[in-house]
Structure 1
Amino acid sequence: MSILSARISYLLNLKGPSMAIETACSSSLVAIAEACTNLALGNNDLALAGGVCVLAGPKLHIMCSKSGMLSKDGQCYTFDNRANGFVPGEGVGVVLLKRLKDAVRDGDHIYGVIRGWGLNQDGKTNGITAPSVISQIQLEKDVYTRFGINPENITLIEAHGTGTKLGDPIEVEALTESFRSFTQKRITVLWDL
């Protein structure tokens, strides 16, 4: 896995930082954050960032099943009272990132704008599906402050959403508390269930 990104760069004749990032379910988001950092630092003018999940054997399913992390009915009810675990899935996703001023200058079709990003590690928690609400609140506040983001203007949030009664409420509480530090407005959340 460590040379996969280098082989893609070789095939496409890409230059600049090229790395494989493995942080479990956050790998794609960490890759995007790293790409944004490199763009901001001027290390490159565009970046491909994304992730691949291929479940080629039974080990993950067995481990997650023994840990009680898998949904009993094969449905993932993220941020829902019916949440009873997650459902593993496979997929590939890649985005092409550029600095906004460069994309505007080049007449590119812009699908979205990343206004800020941040990374953290929660430290010791109650388990792999239980993020630290305090760490999450601090990270979100830091990102809003560092990038001058008013949470009232956020249109999309990517959350970990384990589909469990333990992890999901922690994620919602962190989002709610970090928003309240900047605004008292309430938002309506629409879920695609």
Structure 2
Amino acid sequence: MDPQQRLLLEVAWEALEYAHIPPDSVYGSATGVFVGIIGQDYAQRLFAPGYLDRIDAYVGTGASQGVAAGRLSYALGLTGPSFSVDTACSSSLVTLHLACESLRRKECDLALSGGVNLILEPGLNVNFSKARMMAPDGRCKSFDSAADGYVRGEGCGMLVLKRLSDALAAGDQVLAVVRGSALNQDGPSGGLTVPS
């Protein structure tokens, strides 16, 4: 199994515990799962030259980005919307928007929204360096006139979301309120890798 899938399982479990929701209590509930995941490093390892001898019954589900959200729903017994999103660097923010919209439309009563990225192979770093996308000094300088690229990061984060009225009625601790969100694409900009 891709370590990203395992990390999602662990962090989602911890997020539920932090929200004072016993993970076994959500079994069979209309809980949505919205996962941002873009890395395919583990699949590259599994399907490297000579891979045919290494294929077993679990390679397909273990390496699939699309399965990441489904595995979480399956493991916790969740019956709400469940899907993985790849919009590059914005994937986790897009999952937040989609989760909020799903809660507003009452497609789910609880939502897990987050993302994961692990760098397991050097290939993309090499590619992005050759494309001059990476900051040569390894420092990200967002919105700075000295900005000269970005830095790739690793990690996993997961939010537990409810409609505010439901959270207040349940006496939940509310750490933040999402008042609104939106998605767009800026179309033709300074370049495909330079959105404005």
State the TM-score, normalizing by the size of structure 2: 0.64
Structure 2 match to 1:6? 70
**1:90 Cα deviation from its structure 2 partner:** 0.4
Query: Equivalents in 2 of 1:122, 1:84: separation in Å?
Result: 21
SS in 1 for 2:126: helix
**1:80 Cα deviation from its structure 2 partner:** 2.3
SS in 1 for 2:83: coil
Query: Equivalents in 2 of 1:32, 1:44: separation in Å?
Result: 14
- State the 4+ residue runs in structure 1 displaced beyond 3 angstroms: none
In the alignment, structure 1 residue 52 sits paired with structure 2 residue 116: yes
**1:34 Cα deviation from its structure 2 partner:** 0.6
Structure 2 match to 1:35? 99
Written as runs of structure 1 = structure 2, the 5 A alignment for 1:1-193 is 1-132=65-196
Percent identity (aligned): 48
**1:131 Cα deviation from its structure 2 partner:** 2.2
**1:71 Cα deviation from its structure 2 partner:** 1.0
SS in 2 for 1:48: strand
RMSD between aligned residues: 1.2
Aligned residues: 132
Query: Equivalents in 2 of 1:93, 1:107: separation in Å?
Result: 24
State the TM-score, normalizing by the size of structure 1: 0.65
**1:129 Cα deviation from its structure 2 partner:** 3.8
Residues 133-190 of structure 1: per-residue CA shift (max 9 Å, x gap): xxxxxxxxxxxxxxxxxxxxxxxxxxxxxxxxxxxxxxxxxxxxxxxxxxxxxxxxxx
Amino acid at match of 1:116: G
Amino acid at match of 1:73: D
**1:79 Cα deviation from its structure 2 partner:** 2.0
